[in-house]
Structure 1
């Protein structure tokens, strides 16, 4: 005998099926708009295109301009809504994409019910599933006394401060909301927790000198490499700090520190480098505290610098805490039931390997999850792709969840 959730899933799938081609065509159109970040190009153009689509679908869109940030071109947030009930459910997504391996990735290919191109999985395909999931919930009368608020942001790939940070800092996230879900490429799991993130730049100053008088200089690069040595040891120690939260990849259960993901030194090959810098990027597990991790990195750098007499400054580019949502909460159970009703199998709740936008909502006490049609193993790669069938099923999950949460 079908349960109410099973019936809603069947109704959502039946409603969405005739719209499958339009959904796929919209993904192709959006993937073809270059929103590569960095540097963050074409963001305003994409937002205006999305605004037109949302207007046609009856999503009451509004483009909110945000403060200038780094090299982002026309940074903005697109906000829309479906339904007019008191209970708010946030459908959240980002429209910036990581740099492409080839410009051909912005000429999407649709073949064999698969769409290939930069951002198809992460996460323009997910944006389309969210749009159609919200519309399906409205047209099928699933929302009742709820409404879906759509938050589409411009800079998740570079930290989220201009987009999701703007929503947080300008009180555009209602702490009384019922739930949030973002369309990260998680299939077939749900991310109910994410790591914290710290990004630093370590600057080392020396003194330039001609190579023929190298003894007159102070080699900033040499100092930088010696400061990096204890940080490499720290990275190995942090990998041994295992999270208790389930993960897709058990080998990735430790906190992860990358030393020197970016680095630069000197003016020329025949000059003692008078300055050098390198980056630190830490993704730490929810068991760790943000302030403690900041202090650990600072102490490691400062003690190494003091030992060799190096002149060092540290710039903190990003410092965000981890976030966790209780997987036994009624909201999590509603999402689990919605996914199982559509997909036929349960979806495990796991820790995201990175730092994603659920944190901006979880920090305000909102149950927050990442679940999307794309797959992480192809995202950011040269053959990024998304299944048209997954787009449709994920839209059905969003529709059913919108009708189940808080009821």
Structure 2
């Protein structure tokens, strides 16, 4: 797909512009911290997807105060899922959409984020704690902190006149932690993502690096059917569990082989470049301890490097499972529960160079381009030919953990980068 032409840019943002943005943000440092504290208190755990509407309304009110023209777009949730890799049980699923700059401006940059968070280890994580320059709590790194930086970055760019005749559109979605089909998928399906956009950035916890690539996801559920019989008549049954074990063995060998297929993209940690596949993350079956199991199932979940063809790997896995079932006459079926392609934008793309240039000015050092070890919502934009990046204040190694945190100074630095980046592309 042809990439839209970029507006000419200077070699780096003017230092006086960076100083103006920094001064604007520093004056609002308490506002930013208070908003993040408020967002952490909204228990938007996903799964199961609680308090999503509440969180959307908090974001709408904050965006309204920042003159970002917010609206809440209701979406239709997917049917109840049989696997946690697909959305299920979402309460008031929605997208919050806002705009900075000229509503119908010629140039367009997307800021994208998600306001759902993974389940906590302790309910106390929903009470944010400010300590030693950090805000500690669920979602501070991934990625309610990133949302705060994006909102204030967009507002700074708008108020300081950095956007010229262009605009920043903010998309905040509700279900990234369970596949993003309901939120970002709705944006794509409803044609609310403009392929002519100059770039997209999401505030995921990259720790100051630029994620210009991310893995794809392929998830399967394998169901095996047998015939129940009481242990006293076990010879009359067909043991689905034993059949499942036979079918799973070639899949385990496949997972081992895929871990040795490395990516050419830099990533951290450096010793984990292979495609990762987990066999049996979920498994079960049977009806009682003294009954031959008449059913059994297991899941397969993989994170595939950008070099892999997920359609081909789905066919390959299905063929392995079908072949193993035929060897022993087992009755088995395969359901693909998730297939999300990887995403990559060249680090040499003009939009990538502009982001690195701006981040260098703010950070004082050139950021490293890396591949994210997981999947990113950049894929929904990259599929349309839009250069898409992850760049955020949080750290991946503390995200999802019991001591998740974000540095307050890093929140402001990232907001500065977002404001200057939008100005670099649009001003």
TM-score interval (norm. to shorter): over 0.9
State the SS of the aligned residue for 1:391.
helix
Q: Distance in 1 between matches of 2:16 and 2:292?
A: 72
SS in 1 for 2:323: helix
Say if 2:368 is the partner of 1:348. yes
Counterpart in the other structure of 2:344: 324
Worse overlay, 120-129 or 243-252? 243-252
CA-CA distance at 1:243 after TM superposition? 0.7
**Pairing partner for 1:225 from 234, 241, 245:** 245
Superposition pairs of residues 263-274 of structure 1, within 5 angstroms: 263-274=283-294
- SS of the residue 1:250 aligns to: coil
Give the equivalent residue in structure 1 for 2:325: 305
1:276 and 2:296 correspond: yes
How far the C-alpha of 1:57 sits from its partner, in A, is 1.1
1:314 paired with 2:323, answer no
Match of 1:77 in 2: 95
1:193 aligned partner: 213
Deviation at 1:348, TM superposition (A): 0.8
Aligned to 1:90: 110
User: Which residue of structure 1 aligns with residue 175 of structure 2?
Assistant: 155
Structure 1 partner of 2:82: none
DSSP-derived class of the 1:375 partner:
coil
What is the Cα deviation at residue 189 of structure 1? 1.0
Question: Offset of 1:375 from its aligned partner?
Answer: 0.2
Q: 2:61 aligns with which of 52, 59, 70?
A: 52
2:336 is the alignment partner of 1:336: no
- Long gaps (5+) in structure 2: 1-10, 79-87
Contact kept in structure 1, 2:164 and 2:426, CA below 8 Å: no
Equivalent residue of 1:121, what SS?
Answer: coil
Q: Give the match for residue 34 of structure 1.
A: 43
TM-score (norm 1): 0.97
2:6 maps to which residue? Answer: none
C-alpha displacement at 1:41, in angstroms? 0.8
Equivalent residue in structure 2 for 1:259, among 273, 279, 304: 279
Task: Tell me the number of residue pairs that the alignment of Structure 1 and Structure 2 aligns.
Answer: 406
Q: Which has the larger helix fraction?
A: 1
Distance in 1 between residues matched to 2:293 and 2:201, nearest whole Å:
48
Conserved 8 A contact 2:12-2:357: no
| Alpha-carbon distance between aligned partners in 1 of 2:379 and 2:150, rounded to the nearest angstrom | 19
User: 1:168 aligned to 2:188?
Assistant: yes
Distance in 2 separating the partners of 1:376 and 1:6: 30
Change (3 A) 1:113 1:218: same
What is the CA–CA distance in structure 2 between the aligned matches of 1:96 and 1:73, rounded to whole Å?
Answer: 11
Alignment match, 1:393? 413
User: Matches of 2:143 and 2:239 in 1, distance apart?
Assistant: 44
How far apart are the structure 1 equivalents of 2:198 and 2:141?
26
Alpha-carbon distance in structure 2 between the residues aligned to 1:154 and 1:123: 12
Partner SS for 2:217: strand
Task: Report the secondary structure of 1:237's partner residue.
Answer: helix
> 1:3 offset after TM fit, Å?
5.3
Deviations 1:144-170 (A, max 9, x none): 121110000000001110000000011
* CA shift digits 1:69-122 (9 cap, x unpaired): 221111110000010122110000000111111111112212222111111100
Q: Which residue of 1 aligns with 2:16?
A: 7
Given candidates 14, 17, 20, the residue that maps to 2:26 is 17
C-alpha distance in 1, partners of 2:244/2:223?
Answer: 8
Counterparts of 1:104 and 1:267, CA distance in 2: 38
The TM-score with structure 2 as length reference comes to 0.93
Please say if residues 13 and 420 of structure 2, whose CA atoms lie closer than 8 Å, have aligned partners that are also in contact: no
Unaligned 5+ segments in structure 1 are none
Offset at residue 209 of structure 1 (A): 1.4
| C-alpha displacement of 1:290 | 1.9
1:374 corresponds, among 394, 397, 400, to 394
The alpha carbon displacement at 1:10 in A equals 2.1
> In the alignment, is the contact (CA less than 8 A) between 1:10 and 1:342 conserved in 2?
no
Which of these residues, 230, 235, 244, is aligned with residue 215 of structure 1? 235
Distance in structure 2 (CA, Å) of the matches to 1:56 and 1:65: 21
2-structure distance, mates of 1:35, 1:107? 13
CA contact (8 A) 2:303 2:375 kept: yes
Whole-Å separation in 1 of the counterparts to 2:13 and 2:111: 23
Structure 1 match to 2:81 = none
Mean Cα displacement is larger for which, 391-400 or 217-226?
Answer: 217-226
Q: Which runs of 4+ in 1 moved over 6 A?
A: none
- TM alignment of 1:226-241, pairs within 5 A: 226-241=246-261
- Shift of the 273–114 alpha-carbon distance from structure 1 to 2, 3 Å rule, reads same
